[in-house]
A and B are shown apart, each in its own frame.
Chain A
Amino acid sequence: EVQLVESGGGLVQPGGSLRLSCAASGFTFSNYWMYWVRQAPGKGLVWVSRMNSDGSSTSYADSVRGRFTISRDNARNTLYLQMNSLRVEDTAVYYCAREPAAGGLDVWGQGTTVTVS
């Protein structure tokens, strides 16, 4: 079964740090670009960051650039999001998702909740 499982969320004070993980299974992780998408309480989906399949290229939303770092370990089939200098407005459910060749995001994790307060 193709699956993405996020972990690492929690409650953190403003200015603090968290590292999210996304464990992939059921597919060849190293073949796919991977994304982080977040959703603040009661709000819509917002793209956060993406990394290409071999980890050589990254991109970030303006709201997190310089504070968040995306990375991956293809040997461990895991995607990461290091979040530093967290702000109250970073409070959200964070999803990891896979981009297939057709584009879009075809597989999503269940999400992990980050609360900055």
Chain B
Amino acid sequence: SYELTQPPSVSVSPGQTARIPCSGDALPRQYGYWYQQKPGQAPVPVIYKDIERPSGIPERFSGSSSGTTVTLTISGVQAEDEADYYCQSADSSGTMVFGGGTKLTVL
């Protein structure tokens, strides 16, 4: 079955830039989406269609795509950004797939 691969964890200091990659063979043909999830809460979309930011999401959140990898970048990380981040896309048949998630730790 199709998989999206993310690193289990990323750590950064406040004010630094965090980059979370997500790789998958179908990503050149399918959009990537990103969700932030804090403990005990539902996921919140932070990036859609690879690079678009929903209204209300801070500008420090951005997305990019290159080949088989989409990347979530958080510039000037703040303590409140500490959370789990999930990428999501679709396989060649359009079936939704999530990455395994990345725990972002703000040191």
Give A residues with C-beta under 8 Å from B: 35, 37, 44-47, 50, 59, 62, 95, 102-106, 108-111
- Are B99's CB and A44's CB within 8 A? yes
- Are A45's CB and B101's CB within 8 A? yes
Given A109-B42, A110-B42, residue A104 in contact with residue B98 (CB < 8 A): no
Measured in the bound complex, the distance between the Cα atoms of B4 and A105 in whole Å is 17
A-B pairs with CB below 8 Å: how many?
Answer: 53
Contact among A44, A102, A106 with B98 in the assembled complex (CB-CB below 8 Å): A44
Measured in the bound complex, the distance between the Cα atoms of B88 and A103 in whole Å is 10
Measured in the bound complex, the distance between the Cα atoms of B99 and A47 in whole Å is 11
B96 within 8 A of A: yes
B97 within 8 A of A: yes
- Are B86's CB and A103's CB within 8 A? no
- Are A111's CB and B42's CB within 8 A? yes
Interchain nearest-CB distance for A88 vs B (Å): 21
- Are B48's CB and A106's CB within 8 A? yes
Measured in the bound complex, the distance between the Cα atoms of B35 and A111 in whole Å is 15
Given A103-B31, A106-B48, residue A47 in contact with residue B96 (CB < 8 A): yes
Given A45-B35, A47-B95, A50-B96, residue A105 in contact with residue B45 (CB < 8 A): yes
Given A45-B86, A47-B95, residue A102 in contact with residue B48 (CB < 8 A): yes
B90-106 toward A: CB 8 Å interface, digit per residue (1/0)? 10000111111100000
